[in-house]
Amino acid sequence: MTLKGSETNLIWQNIDPRLKIVWVTIFSFYLASVNDLKVLLASLIFGLIFSRLSDFSFKEIIQKLKPINFFILFFWIILPFTTPGPQLHLKWFNISQTGLELCLVLTVKANSLMLFFIAFILSLPTSTLAYALQKLKVSPKLVYLFLFAYRYLFLLKEEKEKLMRSLKIKGFTPKTNLFTYKIYAYLLGLLILRAYEKGDRAHKALLLRGFNGTFYSLYVYKLTAKDFYCSLVFFLVLILFIWMM
């Protein structure tokens, strides 16, 4: 049984999810510890290739990279002006060279890590990911936490929007005063209560649908020769990174 997708993506999609998780962990630990710009640029390129192999379009990939780059933007605003070290003299102000380099390294590193994550993890269906984590002997509690956070964060957001709407209808305008803080405290309290209730109902729903603590994957994966070859490719990429240093 295979997932949907075009022919070229089939190989990538049929890689054993456990293998993907293991490799992405290795890559992320390695890339997080490297500060060499050459290696990071190479990893960025490989990240792009891998994420193109998964079923995401360029537009989707860019969309997913937006939030992290927005976050990094703040480093670009602050670090070049505050880091000590050799300075580049522009007409009116000085820019720190080390700060600039640091920002560049940070940006490339964050983006390539994200690309690896998109390619290896986001391309998996949720149930498969839960199943694979379980097979890797990750604590069941963590697996549930991950899976339900993924689904219920959205529902909680919806719940919050409902409450905010009802506040607006009643003519509430937030100000900086005690009354506003009090209302927000109530809001948070209500949200926690509703989350609890939702959790209770979800628990009931799980019981009714025969859930007994283990997840099963809808798609079958077996460790075969293709997994070995893919691992070999990943290993060579890793060796390449190490050699480039």
Partner 1 sequence: MAKQNTSTEELINLQNISFGYTKDKLILDNLNFKLKLSERIGLIGANGTGKTTLAFIILGLLTPQQGKVKLFGKICQTEKDFQQIRPKIGFVFQNADDQIIFPTVLEDVAFGPLNLGLSSEQALHKAENILKKLGIEHLKHRNIFNLSGGEKKLVSIAGVLAMSPKVLILDEPTIGLDEHSRAKLINILTKLDLSYFIISHDYDFLARTTQKQYILKNKTIFLDNTIVLHKHEHAHPLGYITHDHT
Which stretches of the chain bind partner 1, using CB under 8 A? 1, 4, 125-127, 150-151, 154-155, 198, 201-202, 204-212, 216-220
> CB of residue 229 vs partner 1: minimum separation in angstroms?
24
Q: Based on CB atoms, which residue is closest to partner 1, 91 or 209?
A: 209
Q: Based on CB atoms, which residue is closest to partner 1, 175 or 209?
A: 209
Contacts of 47 (CB under 8 A, 6+ apart): 111, 112, 113, 114, 115, 116, 119
Q: CA–CA separation, 141 vs 109, rounded Å?
A: 30
> CB of residue 176 vs partner 1: minimum separation in angstroms?
34
What are the angstrom distances between the C-alpha of 149 and each of 18, 132, 135, 154, 199? 21, 17, 20, 9, 11
Q: Based on CB atoms, which residue is closest to partner 1, 55 or 227?
A: 55
- The Cβ of residue 176 has, within 10 Å, a number of other Cβ atoms equal to 6
> CB of residue 130 vs partner 1: minimum separation in angstroms?
9
Q: CA–CA separation, 122 vs 60, rounded Å?
A: 11
Q: CA–CA separation, 164 vs 187, rounded Å?
A: 8
> CB of residue 128 vs partner 1: minimum separation in angstroms?
9
Q: Based on CB atoms, which residue is closest to partner 1, 208 or 225?
A: 208
